[in-house]
Amino acid sequence: MEVGKAPSSITAGSPARPRGSSLSLPLPAPTEYKGGEGVLLLNASSRGYWVETLFAWHGRPMPAVPIFVYATWAVSATTLCMLYPDPVSPLDRDDAGSDNPAPRFVLDTTVESLVGAALFFLLVFRTNTCYDRWWEARKQWGLIINRTRDFSRQGAAYVRSHARVATLMKYSVAYAVCAKQHLRGDRNLAELAVYLSRGEVEEIEQSKHVVLRVLRTLSETLAGAHAAGEIDSIQLSMLDANLTTLEDTLGACERILKTKMPFGYIVHLRAFLVLWTAALPFALVPFLLWGTPVACIVIFYALLGIDAIGVEVENPFGRDYNDLPLDSIVHDTIAANVVGEMLPWAMAQPVRLAPSPPPQGPRDSVSPASVRVGLERRAVGAHLAPPPHPALPPDASSATAEGKG
């Protein structure tokens, strides 16, 4: 598959569903993924991706406006130093024999080097912190992949109703789509139209928190299956644990999205960066003369590029080139696994009936009407039967026996 391209559709298997119908769900992926193209490019390369990265234009930090402003400053500072030399300092004679007066405004390179070491340390710390956020976001989406797979597997194996199994799996994919759009600040859920009905999609869109609405529907479906006797309490607990994990991963992603680096740290770093690069021409001009602006611009681009990369990967859920490929994760992995693989298998299984309740005992099976009829019959029988013989005392009975003898 071409990097950055989404499959036009995925046909979910050929096994026939009961009642003679088949399941074919094309994925509503866009014709071209937006976001994370750099990750997809590296995944498609197999030889160290030197060619893909060395000459790449997309994904490379290119802060054009700051570079233009700094280039103007570097040229102006170099011109000031070269046009107004220091008349007191001795003249330097080059190999051609021309005299080059020393610049008037210079800065000791030792000071610039010591201050630059602290600046580089701050830049490295910022870059590592932003990468940690990016990697933490990728781990959370890896957990979403695992939990949706496990949830669909358990639902297909435990739940007996085909309708509920289909609901669980389709809403599992809906969770991934809604989480992606929610983290991007986009409430457009047109991708759900292939899985859910128009009314179901509109119901999700009208809710304040679309992801929580999907999780609530999954919980209600599990509760209905348990009430109908399709799953027992242990199976319900296992399925619900996956939903709790999905809710936890959503909270972790929201934490990454809404918590940036401390404001004071960024302010100090950028002020430090601007001051250091502004003083750089005065430290290089005694050595490079008119070549100072070129060297300064290259150094400025290298340092500013590191900061620009940190800004881009600080929010890894967007649509930038270096963000996470969420479209590919949702459509090529989650939807393909759940709807393309697990759902057709579940629909091909025969409908499993709920176990019948144990037979009731003889006392439990007697109805009140039968008890009343039995009592009436007993009363009539006692009225028609001959009266019983009177009971004789023990002495009389023994005397009668001896007289007969």
In this structure, of 10-19, 83-92, 306-315, the range with the lowest mean pLDDT score is 10-19
Q: 31 or 239: whose pLDDT is higher? A: 239
Identify the pLDDT of residue 96: 44
To which residue do tokens 């590191």 refer? 306
Identify the pLDDT of residue 379: 55
Q: How far is CA 331 from the centre of its chain?
A: 13
What percent of the chain is predicted at pLDDT more than 70?
74
Q: Around Cβ 228, how many Cβ atoms within 10 Å?
A: 13
Residue 212 amino acid letter: L
Across 25-29, average pLDDT: 50
Residue 192 confidence (pLDDT) above 60: yes
Across 219-226, average pLDDT: 96
CA angle 121, 125, 131 (to 5 degrees): 145
Q: In this predicted model, what pLDDT tens digit does every residue of 59-90 receive, in sequence order?
A: 888 888 999 999 999 999 999 888 876 665 55
Distance from C-alpha of 122 to C-alpha of 261, rounded to nearest angstrom:
13
Of the pLDDT bands very low, low, confident and very high (cuts 50, 70, 90), residue 160 is confident
Q: In this predicted model, what pLDDT tens digit does every residue of 195-209 receive, in sequence order?
A: 899 999 999 999 999
To which residue do tokens 């107004």 refer? 84
Q: What is the dihedral of CA 116, 121, 127, 128, to 10 degrees?
A: 170
In this structure, of 31-35, 246-250, 343-347, the range with the lowest mean pLDDT score is 31-35
Distance from C-alpha of 114 to C-alpha of 100, rounded to nearest angstrom:
28
